[in-house]
Amino acid sequence: MSYSSMAVRFFTTPSPLGKAMDAQTSQPGPGAHSHTVVRPNLSTDIPSSEVAEEYTPKKQGMTFANQDSLPKLPIPDLEDTCRKHLQALEALQTPREHEESKAAIREFLKTDGPGLQEKLKTYASSKTSYIEQFWYDSFLNFDNPVVLNLNPFFLLEDDPTPARSHQVNRAASLVISALSFVRAVRREELPPDTVRGTPLCMYQYSRLFGTARVPTDNGCVISQDPFAKHVVVLCRGQFYWFDVLDDNSDHIMSEKDIALNLQVIIDDANQTSLQDAAKGALGVLSTENRKVWSGLRDIMTKDPESNNAECLNIVDTALFALCLDDTEPTTTSQLCANMLCGSSEVIKGVQVGTCTNRWYDKLQIIVCKNGSAGINFEHTGVDGHTVLRFASDVYTDTILRFAKTINGQAPSLWATTSPDPSKRDPRSFGNVSTTPRKLEWDMTPELKIALRFAESHLSDLLYQHEFQVLDFEGYGKNFITSMGFSPDAFVQMAFQAAYYGLYGRVENTYEPAMTKVFLHGRTEAIRTVTPECADFVKTFWGENPAEQKVEALRTATKRHTAMTKECSKAQGQDRHLYALYCLWQRSFEEGLYQETNSMGGYSSPDEGAESPKLSEGSGDDLSRSPGSGSGSASGSVRGLRAGTVPTPALFADAGWDKINNTILSTSNCGNPCLRHFGFGPTSGDGFGIGYIIKDESISFCASSKHRQTARLMQALESYLFEIRKLLRATNRTAASARTNRVRETEAQAERLQHDMRRRGRVVLGDRRVSETPTATTDSGEMEDDDGMGGYGFFDAGMLLHALKGLDAEREQRGQKPSKRRFVGKKLYLNDY
């Protein structure tokens, strides 16, 4: 596969997927499919206006019908952003540190700030989104392994259909439903996402399938084959592939056909011992440092006689990867770890765990031996909400298809369905291969050594992390709302109280708020720790009355809800400041930023200090820290400018480093199709916490680099029970104490006689109950908060919409993929 020599991003238009966004797409190499490529902006001599083309969707089909009407992501007011930045720091700093940050902000607003704001407005005028290019730069320049650092996971609920508790049947069912989703996107029949009637940007769905993160010497690129029609199957670290769609994105195999293929693949893979298979499990290379992985790809493809280039192309251009794991995790924590990073099991010095059965540069559907299933996804081009819609629709479709076998009148999730492959003329399938083929890699001595080292590095990484699951059954959304709280804000304060109870301090916390109400919107960072939050945890752990603790909680959750609303309207501070920082950095690199532009500015931090990171959230969203690490281009720039050009005061302030070091990275991603979801910690001394708030329970999956993860979950559980007790005590109705006439008379007599010696101290009911807000009075707030905080807003009812899509004629593609050689050893189906 070949790429353009210029560091220019190219997009595939989502209307339809099969056409390029502009005429500058990279030319495919011989025998390769056509590709579009998203590249980071690494060159300093290319004007920023040439880096990304404006997105102009077509006006056909329902999926992208709202794109033209979506507003652009607004650039917040500079003074408002600086004020919110200080508010986010206040509870995290000492008074002296906070005064220093205030001084830095004042200096920034007097000197560099206004100029950078004007530069950003000018830059954004020709862009779809002012943050998008910087976002991609941050992710694609990230040099550390993507496993445990970038890729999140979803653990699906078990399939309620008894027959699908087996690996092959569950996997075949998921593949069929996934292909129906692909078909709906490509035909633009997927109903647009909405939040309370407001349409959301659907662009990310066009980047979900046939996509791969490909490492190069100058950062990674996102490569996509818009004509992809095959899937890759991994089993025991071995690679197989077969076609599943025709040129019109219609199915060419039934569920039984796919199940047969998967069984053949499993039987063939079992013929190779685990130890021998591990020695050729090239998926491990996708877990390496990105520059190392880039060099290894060059080694794999340098021999023109080798078929490794074609094998790589088959993997990169697949719709998605299906990983069939030869394991049955015994605990939920082990199951979550398997979906996030695979298991590690070394036998006689050879790694035979499922960590070798992955390809982390792609969307992966993972199915265990007992039918437990999950999704692991590359996070650069898509957020958790997009993959959540995919997971939800796939899970729902599997259930509806089973219902249809019982009742032929059962509804379908799709506007139109693919013709039955068994009733089609095989000649109509076109140039396809439905027989599974095994990719046979040329294992050179260099490659064998690199594979051994990569596996050792991966094993180190796995053993550095621990995972803990808490399935809290005490209560859920229903109880929380009945007490008058927003569920998401309530849980966020639970994290703060649990952490404070262990360590006696609050730490920088991140939660994503979705901004897809804007064109190409992604997320904004909610900074949970506020003065109100800090006051609550101190009040809760102090010797204070229950009423005071509950009131402090209510104040803190209201503040969190208000921040969530602001961030969902793209009025947060993190993305804005990051864009200003990147613009200053770009100006510095291009030599356009003169020393006189920063009069009296602060000097740069120590030479070699890391660049601030774009806190971004999967798993969606999940608080990521791309931009850090030895391979970060931005990190080296910080070192170069040290002692030469003064850094803008805000970015040189210690508060900037503090706010960009997330200790508690959290995300709410609720949907009935999910059992758990999670991600790795974003800092060495931090926690990654994914949670799902259900009606009567709350699921948590936490990870850390061995920072008492189990103990934190125990503290969280204890807090949740304790706060319930306090809420019940302060919310207990005192009506009976006030309406009982005998007690009223007794109380009156006590007041008249002032004789307390005989009767003792009277136990009074809570007279403040009338002041307690109810779920009804707070419902507006809760609705907004639940709608935008993390991904918990996702409308599960959308899955059951009766879709009445138009029977639009199939579009004729203007370009066809070149004819492929059917690479790999053909497996024979005669015995099945």
* Residue 336 exposure: Cα atoms within 13 Å on the Cβ side: 27
Query: How many helices (H) and strands (E) are present in the chain, helices listed first?
Result: 24, 24
| DSSP code, position 423 | G
Can you tell me the distance from the alpha carbon of 17 to that of 25, in angstroms, rounded to the nearest whole number?
Answer: 14
379 carries an active-site annotation: yes
Q: Can you list the alpha helix ranges (DSSP code H) found in 660-777?
A: 709-731, 735-739, 741-753
DSSP-derived pairing of the beta strands 623-624 and 616-617: antiparallel
Q: Which pair of structure tokens corresponds to residue 623?
A: 């608080």
Can you tell me the distance from the alpha carbon of 439 to that of 827, in angstroms, rounded to the nearest whole number?
Answer: 11
> Which residue has tokens 């993507």?
146
Can you tell me the distance from the alpha carbon of 152 to that of 69, in angstroms, rounded to the nearest whole number?
Answer: 31
Secondary structure (3-state) at 257: helix
* Residue 743 exposure: Cα atoms within 13 Å on the Cβ side: 11
Can you tell me the distance from the alpha carbon of 708 to that of 263, in angstroms, rounded to the nearest whole number?
Answer: 42
Q: What contacts 558, CB < 8 A, 6 or more positions away?
A: 489, 532, 781
> Which residue has tokens 């066809």?
816
Q: Cα–chain-centroid distance for residue 121?
A: 28
| DSSP code, position 306 | -
Q: Can you list the alpha helix ranges (DSSP code H) found in 407-523?
A: 445-463, 477-482, 487-503
Q: Cα–chain-centroid distance for residue 210?
A: 18
In one-letter notation, the amino acid at residue 168 is: V
Sign of the torsion formed by the C-alpha atoms of 425, 427, 428 and 433? positive
Active-site option among 33, 85, 251, 379: 379
Q: What are phi and psi of 437, to 5 degrees?
A: -130, 140
Count Cβ atoms below 10 Å from residue 292 Cβ, excluding itself: 18
Can you tell me the distance from the alpha carbon of 108 to that of 97, in angstroms, rounded to the nearest whole number?
Answer: 16
In one-letter notation, the amino acid at residue 408 is: G
Q: Which pair of structure tokens corresponds to residue 692?
A: 């799902």
Q: Which pair of structure tokens corresponds to residue 639?
A: 């070192």
Count Cβ atoms below 10 Å from residue 150 Cβ, excluding itself: 26
Sign of the torsion formed by the C-alpha atoms of 537, 538, 539 and 542? positive
In one-letter notation, the amino acid at residue 98 is: H
Q: What count of residues does the chain have?
A: 832
Q: Which pair of structure tokens corresponds to residue 90?
A: 């206040």
Can you tell me the distance from the alpha carbon of 278 to that of 281, in angstroms, rounded to the nearest whole number?
Answer: 5
Q: Which pair of structure tokens corresponds to residue 698?
A: 């709350």
| DSSP code, position 12 | B
Can you tell me the distance from the alpha carbon of 500 to that of 533, in angstroms, rounded to the nearest whole number?
Answer: 11
Can you tell me the distance from the alpha carbon of 791 to that of 57, in angstroms, rounded to the nearest whole number?
Answer: 25
Can you tell me the distance from the alpha carbon of 349 to that of 275, in angstroms, rounded to the nearest whole number?
Answer: 9
Cα separation of the two ends of the chain:
36
Catalytic residue numbers?
379
